Structure 1
Amino acid sequence: MKLYSLFLLMATVTVFSPGPGVVMTLTNALRYGLRGTFGGILGIAFGALVVAAISATSLGALFAASALAFNLVKWMGAAYLIYLGIRLWRAPPFQFAEQSAHQARFSQRFFAGLTLQLTNPKAIFFFLSVFPQFIDPQQGYSMQFATLVLTYSALVVFIHSLYAIFAQRAKGWLVSVRGGRIINKFAATAFMFFGAALATAKR
């Protein structure tokens, strides 16, 4: 494997950069508490594994070569992000004192995180373009590929957990109805912005 430390740095910057997944983690932390973020974080991390596996197959090559396939996945991802934004915009303000267990079901959060990752075609092109640069063709491909993918997924879990902890520390500032409404509107606007950006993305 070539330049693993450089890949680690690049992946860390990529995961740490604000995006739809980060917004989802922050929203879940504020709305459902720290435990309510685990499903979504693991869903995003598992989604990275799936996207990486897809990128290693002929399907990944199809997405890279076919404008139709790219546009199909792109519009699906954009529509899902905009849907999340509209749903949050219309949701009532966060009520931290009234959290209930059924609101933060692990399966729902996991599926939401997984769907968010799988409907982002940019993730596929990230793996397609970045991985080959760090794999030594003179060594076994499978082990190198697995190491890079698992590193990326582990970074997702670690960095998103930090985001969730930060949100929990800061939620004391946002316990009012006004603060909850601001969080709703901010997260909704962010999701719709990312959806619009994805809809206009080019290969």
Structure 2
Amino acid sequence: MSWNMWLAFLAAAVVIAVSPGPGAVLSMATGLRHGYAVALRAILGLQTALLIQLAIVVLGLGAVLAASATAFLAVKIAGAAYLIWLGVRKWRAPAELLDDGAEAREARGMFLQGLLVNLTNPKAIVFMVALVPQFIDPQLPQWPQFFIIAATMVGTDMVVMSCYALLAGRCRRWLSSPRMMKAQNRVFGGMFVAAGSLLAASSR
């Protein structure tokens, strides 16, 4: 992969990462609720899912998902249901500070939440099927190019999601009253439900 090609892909990766989506909502909500240390677990889950999605594309299974209406619908429904469930759960979360035990339990589940949020989004895989081949030079060995693409996408997304979480975390001290925490829960819960509803209504 040439430098010009890589820079073009980097620009595309930045645009994709910065675009608001369920991953950004999760990063901000977790950073605001728990701080960056816990949000990092969710972000690592998001990146693990991203690597799995890239592997699916490389192995050719992504093309099957893109071509099969049934497979796409099944993954889409699962993803939309999960996002809506997260939203309802967030909406109904108690507007109070968690004790140490509850905080630890929520923290342990953040990696899995991040993993599932990205992994159950079939549009991401279909998008990669359309995007990634355009940056692969067929005249050069392909596996090193796939490695560069994976490292670029994961690195870019990790930085952007970390920025979302850190910026949200800086607001924690001003939004720690029960009234403000209830408002946070309603805002982020609504955003998760909206993201799930949009996914459910989307097409390939």
TM-score where L is the length of structure 2: 0.93
C-alpha distance in 2, partners of 1:164/1:70? 30
Q: Which residue of 2 aligns with 1:8?
A: 10
CA 1:183/1:94 → structure 2, altered by over 3 Å: closer, same or farther?
Answer: farther
Instruction: Note if 1:25 corresponds to 2:27.
Output: yes
C-alpha distance in 2, partners of 1:188/1:40? 17
Once the two structures are overlaid, the 10-residue window that deviates more, 86-95 or 42-51, is 86-95
Alignment of 1:74-113 (within 5 A): 74-95=76-97, 98=99, 101-106=103-108, 108-113=109-114
C-alpha distance in 2, partners of 1:93/1:55? 41
Q: Residue 95 of structure 1: CA displacement? A: 2.3
C-alpha distance in 2, partners of 1:185/1:178? 11
C-alpha distance in 2, partners of 1:20/1:99? 27
- Is this contact kept in 2: 1:31–1:99, CA < 8 A? no
Give ranges in structure 2 of 5+ residues lacking alignment: none
Q: Which residue of 2 aligns with 1:202?
A: 203
- AA aligned to 1:102 is A
Instruction: Note if 1:156 corresponds to 2:185.
Output: no
Q: Which residue of 1 aligns with 2:143?
A: 142
Q: Which residue of 2 aligns with 1:47?
A: 49
Q: Which residue of 2 aligns with 1:34?
A: 36
Q: Which residue of 2 aligns with 1:187?
A: 188
Q: Which runs of 4+ in 1 moved over 6 A?
A: none
CA 1:73/1:116 → structure 2, altered by over 3 Å: closer, same or farther?
Answer: same
- Is this contact kept in 2: 1:49–1:150, CA < 8 A? no
C-alpha distance in 2, partners of 1:94/1:45? 30
- AA aligned to 1:120 is N
- AA aligned to 1:191 is F
Deviations, residues 85-115 of structure 1 (Å, cap 9, x unaligned): 111111111527x565514434x11111011
- Is this contact kept in 1: 2:35–2:166, CA < 8 A? no
- Is this contact kept in 1: 2:66–2:126, CA < 8 A? yes
- Is this contact kept in 2: 1:15–1:156, CA < 8 A? yes
Deviations, residues 106-158 of structure 1 (Å, cap 9, x unaligned): 4x111110111110001101211111111111101111011111111111211
RMSD (Å), alpha carbons: 1.5
Q: Which residue of 2 aligns with 1:169?
A: 170
Aligned residue among 67, 72, 82 for 1:70: 72
- AA aligned to 1:128 is V
